[in-house]
Amino acid sequence: MSIFYKTVIVGKKGVDVSVKPHLITPDSWLTLTQLHTLRGQIENFPGWKTILDSGDVGGFGTLAAEFEDNAGDIAHIFGGPTKVYQYNPTLRTLIERSADLTPNVPTRDNPWSWFVYKNALYLGNRGSGFYKWQGLNIVSIPDAPKARSYAVLNDHICALNTVDSVRRFQWAAEGSETVWTAAADNDAGLFELDNTPGVGVALVPFDIDLVAYKADSIITLAFVGGNEVFGVRSELKRINILGPEVVVDTGVVHIIMGQEFFYRYRGGRDLDENFGQAIHDKVYDDLHATYRNRARSFYIRGTREAVFAYPSLASSGDCDKCVVYNVDDDAWYGPFAIDVSMFGRTARERTSLAHPINLFVTSSGDILEIGAAQDNNGSTITRAAETGDQNIGIEAVDGSGKAVSFPLGMVYTTNVLNVDFEPTAGTGRVRIGYRMELNDPIVYTDYVDFALSPAGNVKIPFRTTGRWFRVSFSLPASVDMHLIGYQYEFFPVGRR
């Protein structure tokens, strides 16, 4: 009688590379390249396609903002190295909106900071100044400080790292965009965040507070009212944020890419410094020392995934790889190739799906929408997934589903791999890797092609002998696959 290894339902834990491959549980993966775990399956992480029929932002991206006004109309605003544009969804082109923008000197290292307030889109930059947009050209706001990062809390516009002081936190008078100097008749003000020597990097809302991220610490700022107006709620000094665009706000926690680690921040003094270990070595061993602060992040609300793009050692200045963290599955995927100089983000939760929402700007200035295609803007993508080493005698069942126990030294011969999937189209490829001992070189079978329609399951003959086995899938030519599970058929042949 053939003995069957227990069916493995993929997608519960995603990639877990923090342990040795042979310790990876059957529902974890050593590699997921442009694939992700969703709804108990392995599915394609989507590709992307340009939203433009002509034109670009004039070079690398420095801004990708979405503005929804009080009437529900949505606009997308993009910045390049010298100009700011509005996207025309009818003509699929860009309209320049930077007539009053002088000088304009955002850079890859200091891109635009933006937010929505009082039915207007605000943007600022430490070199360029502070501006707003309400439908026509961007206009300058006089007397506002030039700062690295801006945000709003309790009807006050706030700024961090101004041209007057790299550690300054400053706010405008209540409800004002022009009154920034404290006086007897207003509540504008400022103070220095000089608890550490690190400079201010980013201001990000967190529940009822603002979080000021410095190069070497986190400071939670609270609105207290009265003469003080703002105060420090808490401080953390054991963090070093990578750059101004690497904090993902999920609405519950902040996920942060630091100089040496990923962090998960839950507010106050609650900082998880270990949750990113699963992907740590793959990212930080390949992170460009010079361009690392140009890393970018983005939150895909529909699938609750945080995307971190970063310049690899092979980068010439912009992000060329990314990894993805799934909040619900607590799983990491990647790395895989991507060309990003700036990610977009939505202004707030909304129900309209008639406009592009998951956007990024490439190093050459094209604007792409994630999910608009399965390929890379017309170029094919080869996706891949590979398990860690598995001892297939563990949790085995016989043909009747009865559990069977084997000694650890048992040697097995596989004869069939069962693959279950939702029928789609195209051709997938699969192979098995095998070896006797974990320090032996792994040997792979040739890939076997299998049709992804119409059956939804296939039985693929694989004749291999060993004690440790892997399954490796390849999806060439941007094929879309929804993998439900796989199962070895095997029999024992003796003890080692």
How confident is the model at residue 1, as a pLDDT?
36
Q: Residue 121's closest CA among 81, 169, 66? A: 66
Query: What pLDDT does residue 355 have?
Result: 57
> Which among 480, 331, 479 has a CA at the least distance from the CA of 32?
331
Question: What integer pLDDT is reported at residue 11 of this predicted model?
Answer: 44
Tens-digit pLDDT profile for residues 26-46:
556 888 999 998 877 889 999
Q: How many CB atoms lie within 10 A of CB 443?
A: 12
d(CA 156, CA 69): 19
- 392 CB-side CA count, 13 A: 35
Phi, psi of 437 (to 5 degrees): -120, 155
pLDDT in tens, 233-280: 999 887 889 999 999 999 899 999 999 999 999 988 888 988 888 899
Residue count of the chain:
496
Measured distance CA(353)–CA(201) in Å, rounded = 32
Q: Which two tokens stand for residue 198?
A: 């690190």
As a whole number of angstroms, the longest Cα–Cα distance in the chain is: 90
pLDDT at 270: 87
Phi-psi label, residue 14: left if phi above 0, alpha if psi -120 to 50, beta otherwise: left
Q: What Rg, from alpha-carbon coordinates, does the chain have?
A: 26
Cβ pair 182, 189 in contact under 8 A: yes
Dist CA 400 CA 36 (whole Å): 33
Domain layout of the chain by residue ranges: 3-46+383-495
Query: pTM of the full predicted structure?
Result: 0.92
3-46+383-495: what CATH class? mainly beta
**The predicted structure's pLDDT at residue 203:** 96
Low-confidence ranges of the chain (pLDDT < 50): 1-3, 6-13, 17-19, 23, 349-351
